Amino acid sequence: MFHLGWFLGSGFGIQPGRGTFDGRAWRDWMRPRRYVEMATALESGGYDFVFIEDTAMIEDTFGGSAAWTLAHGEMAPKNDPLPLVPLMAAGSKHIGIINTMSTIQYAPYTAARLMTTLDHLTDGRAGVNVVTSVTHRVAQNFGYDEHLPHDERYAMAGEWMDVVTRLWDSWEPGAVVADTETPLYADHTKVHTIDHSGKYYKVRGPLNTIPGPQGRPVVGQAGNSVPGRELAARYADTMLAMGHSVEQMKAFREDMHQRLIAHGRKPGDLKVMFLVTPMLGESDAHARDREAQRRAAVHDRHHIEQILWQLSYISGGTVDFSTFELDATMPDILGNGEQSSMRQYVVGNEDKTLREVVTGVRQIGDLGLIGSPDTVAAEMGELMDEVGGDGFLLYQPRALNPRTLAEYADGLSPALRRRGLIRDGFDNVPFRDNLLAF
């Protein structure tokens, strides 16, 4: 068996697509009902969790203004994802909810306290995706003139995670007695300061609330560079991973296993979830037809601009890709943002033109998963057999609507279940236990 997660790639925000079945999404994206329904649909489909992206900025690198961003609803507007967590939890019973927190946005004490609060409010279904933020524009909203260099951001994130973890552990098991007769609510000898004084943070502790049902909420991680992998190997229970072939996926997972062992953890302690955008259809022919339409659209002006926008963003807001000649050679730039994402466009494509890259390269691919639910389910099973396990993080970046969710929860999941590949229900246990169950 393997795990399923769903990547809500535009967070609690407007979804950029304007497809045939998107209805009033551009007007209603902030309404609660669609997120509650999303949680319920995914839970019925056996998804272990929904993974909510977040970024706090309005991008204006591409074209030197926010015009394109706001015309197309690209990563903005967006609400804070944290209040969404208890809402989605109240409408569901078992699904884990991972919200994103950037280490430059939340002080460690605020983060530890918020996550523990969410763990209580969700009865042990809270998780946090720890990110370092990608662009200068985010950093500039939180007291920085520019974002820190890539590797330093991860050094800061390492200290942040260390402090947050120690705050979560600042109440020993058994500290809460809750005896109204004595009276003794908590034994103060089991509640400890952490007295942290490091390069980036100074925090006394202890946390001023009792541990949540999970003690430490589930920790996720999204960066795939070496420092990103190291952060995950030290702290994470799950991470999203990008791989375009079985070989890359296997190598990624084996690399993570080595890193986990080096940090005194077991390979099974971290679930590596491969981000994938399958193409489903009523039949294999229908799915192939949809895929042919997607491929034909990569030459549309809108698609080309969208990828140039994306490159400008993932460069960390350091390069405006609208300024390059499309038929000149691909610029050799990794920038200061998502280095592993930039590599997918740049490395190995040095001889191609920018146009060939933006029309030919996909940051997140379909791994050949194109077909009817039955076909895709069989192929997912074969892929996971070869990779060795863990699971997939499914993503439909420009088509997130109730119809798409039904295709996955009511189409693909039953096909996976018929093959015994995914869970057929949930035990009444906290999120981490579901994640570590197989």
Ligand X SMILES: Cc1cc2nc3c(=O)[nH]c(=O)nc-3n(C[C@H](O)[C@H](O)[C@H](O)COP(=O)(O)O)c2cc1C
DSSP result, 185-198: EE-GGGB----EE-
Of 417, 349, 344, 341, the residue nearest 377 (C-alpha): 417
Helices (H), 98-149: 108-121, 136-139
Instruction: Return the residue nearest ligand X (CB atom).
Output: 223
| Token couple for 14 | 């407007």
**φ, ψ for residue 100 (rounded to 5)?**
-90, 140
Q: Which stretch binds ligand X (CB under 6 A): 26-34, 198-206, 218-226, 414-422?
A: 218-226
Query: Minimal distance in Å, beta carbon 70 to ligand X?
Result: 19
Selected binder of ligand X within 57, 88, 112, 134 (CB under 6 A): 134
Q: Which of residues 292-351 bind ligand X (CB under 6 A)?
A: 338-341
Nearer to ligand X, 134 or 376 (CB): 134
Pairing between β-strand 96-102 and β-strand 176-179 as defined by DSSP bridges:
unpaired
275 is a site residue for ligand X (CB under 6 A):
yes
Pairing between β-strand 391-394 and β-strand 3-8 as defined by DSSP bridges:
parallel
272 is a site residue for ligand X (CB under 6 A):
no
- Tally of CA atoms within 13 A in the half-sphere of 311 that contains its CB: 28
Q: Which stretch binds ligand X (CB under 6 A): 58-66, 183-191, 217-225, 374-382?
A: 217-225
Output the CA angle 204-209-215, nearest 5 degrees: 95
Selected binder of ligand X within 61, 100, 396, 404 (CB under 6 A): 100
Q: Which stretch binds ligand X (CB under 6 A): 201-209, 219-227, 276-284, 346-354?
A: 219-227
Of 129, 120, 109, the residue nearest 86 (C-alpha): 120
Selected binder of ligand X within 133, 310, 344, 359 (CB under 6 A): 133
132 is a site residue for ligand X (CB under 6 A):
yes
430 is a site residue for ligand X (CB under 6 A):
no
Nearer to ligand X, 169 or 338 (CB): 338
Helices (H), 298-412: 301-314, 339-346, 354-360, 373-387, 402-406
194 is a site residue for ligand X (CB under 6 A):
no
102 is a site residue for ligand X (CB under 6 A):
yes
Selected binder of ligand X within 43, 48, 53, 305 (CB under 6 A): 53
Q: Which stretch binds ligand X (CB under 6 A): 18-26, 221-229, 244-252, 381-389?
A: 221-229
Instruction: Determine the Cα–Cα distance for residues 194 and 176; give it in Å rounded to an integer.
Output: 18
**Residues forming the site for ligand X (CB under 6 A):** 53-55, 100, 102, 131-134, 150, 222-225, 228, 240, 275, 338-341
